[in-house]
Amino acid sequence: MIIEELIDHQNHTSTQLEKEIGQLRIIISHAPGNLFWKSRTGQYLGCNQSVLDMHGLNHQSDFVGKTVYDFYDKDHADEITAKDQLVFEGDQPVLMEEVGYDKWGKQSIYLTRKIPLHNTQGEVTGLIGISLDITAQKTVDRLVKREEIQRKVIQKLKTIAGSLSHEIRTPLAAIRMGLLLLKQFFSSARQDPAQITYESLEHQEHWVERLIDKVDTGTALINIQLKNMATERINTDDFIVGDLSQWVKQSVETFPFEDVSLRQKVHLEVCSEARIVGDPLLTQHVIWNLLNNAFHFIKETGRGEIFIVVERIADNYVLRFKDTAKGMSRKEATQVFEQFYTNRSGGCGLGLHFCQLVMEAYQGRIECRAQEGLYTEFLLFFPKETVFGLESLRLETKELQV
């Protein structure tokens, strides 16, 4: 009786086990992706239906016992075997991308995870691999990347257009003012030729020379912008040792003020001989940007003065540029150097960002402090010495002064 019960229990257990194994085989066979397992010597021990379809096989018996060399050329098979060895020797799961073929023979990209299999003694006896075809995802990624590149190119073109417009605006304003004065002179001379004197012609010649200078300045600024946009950094190859105080003075003197009253709003105080390494045209670019912004808000509010101070503090020369027009909030003061950020109508958000790039190229920095309704102050820190070719620049400057 007991023996019969044991036999019945064993038969029931065997039947249940066979049923579960059958269910497991069905699950494995219909598992998504490619599922396979192999011995440490490389022989396949089993797979799911997707693997059979991929290789054009009908039954497991057509697959079991074969190796990668039965399905791929030697170079491809050697590559797969080498990756398998990483799993066997490292005894760690490995995630990799592999090139294979789908069931239509089309080359595909697979994301494969291979996991070591162990015996009861803990020894690595083989591996199980799960591969998912990610060819479509890769295609999408490439398209997204291509769209991102195109977006950046478009953004770059917008930057160039905005920057060139920004840089040429000031020289054009000066040229326009000069041409209007010339037009006024010739109009008066046509009505009364007797008023044409040597002194008046000399004065007009002076204006023509100034216009030529403005054209040259505008061209130089545009060339600088184009060159720096091409490299996405400020070119320091042509930096020289110069006097910051003199560069600032010259920048203010050559700025195209719309009228004398605006020039009278600029108060300049500089220390004697503030020697730095940099570029006078880039320095002018920075000063002109700050002047343009300050005058915009002075005209907008109908009030304000500009104070420019160059002083020495510790190992830096500091340029303080302060206007008392409308000021700004502390939050705005932290954002003004961001590319494309602007708090003024008609602005493109490029000027102060480029000023920051210039100061970084000088190995200095620029900061903004402000109080809304009262003032905006920019502090520009210029190091007295820099690490790029300072001695050779000093020698070059000395030879020019002889």
Q: Which of 341, 327, 340, 339 is nearest to 369 (CA)?
A: 327
Together in a domain, 81 and 187: no
Q: Which of 133, 166, 181 is the C-terminal boundary of a domain?
A: 133
How would you class 343 by CB atoms within 10 Å of its CB: exposed for 0-12, middle for 13-18, buried for 19 or more? middle
Together in a domain, 322 and 372: yes
CB 179 within 8 A of CB 214: no
Count of the separate structural domains present in the chain:
4
In DSSP notation, 144-166 reads HHHHHHHHHHHHHHHHHHHHHHH
* pLDDT on residue 388: 44
The secondary element (H helix, E strand) that includes residue 318 is strand 316-323
d(CA 287, CA 382) in angstroms, rounded, equals 14
Q: Which of 87, 118, 133 is the C-terminal boundary of a domain?
A: 133
The parent domain of residue 223 ranges over 140-232
Together in a domain, 184 and 153: yes
Note the helical H segments in 115-231. 135-191, 198-231
d(CA 68, CA 376) in angstroms, rounded, equals 72
d(CA 50, CA 100) in angstroms, rounded, equals 13
Together in a domain, 172 and 129: no
**pLDDT mean by block of 10 residues, the chain; 402 residues:** 56 57 61 84 90 87 92 87 91 85 76 90 91 83 75 65 60 68 73 72 72 67 56 77 94 82 93 90 90 91 95 90 93 84 66 89 93 94 65 40 30
Together in a domain, 164 and 302: no
Together in a domain, 165 and 215: yes
d(CA 255, CA 142) in angstroms, rounded, equals 49
Q: What radius of gyration do the chain's Cα atoms show?
A: 38
Together in a domain, 227 and 104: no
Sign of CA dihedral 396, 397, 400, 401: negative
* pLDDT on residue 54: 85
CATH of the domain at 295: 3.30.565.10
Together in a domain, 224 and 171: yes
* pLDDT on residue 100: 74
Together in a domain, 209 and 281: no
Q: Which of 190, 212, 232 is the C-terminal boundary of a domain?
A: 232
Place of tokens 């023509």: 208
* pLDDT on residue 397: 40
* pLDDT on residue 277: 93
* pLDDT on residue 354: 85
Place of tokens 């020019």: 400
Q: What single-letter amino acid sits at 194?
A: A
Together in a domain, 363 and 388: yes
Together in a domain, 177 and 296: no
d(CA 103, CA 54) in angstroms, rounded, equals 4
Residues 6+ apart with CB under 8 A from 40: 88, 124, 125, 126, 127
CATH of the domain at 90: 3.30.450.20
The model scores a pTM over 0.85: no
Together in a domain, 241 and 388: yes
d(CA 361, CA 364) in angstroms, rounded, equals 7
Give the number of other Cβ atoms within 10 Å of residue 216's Cβ: 11
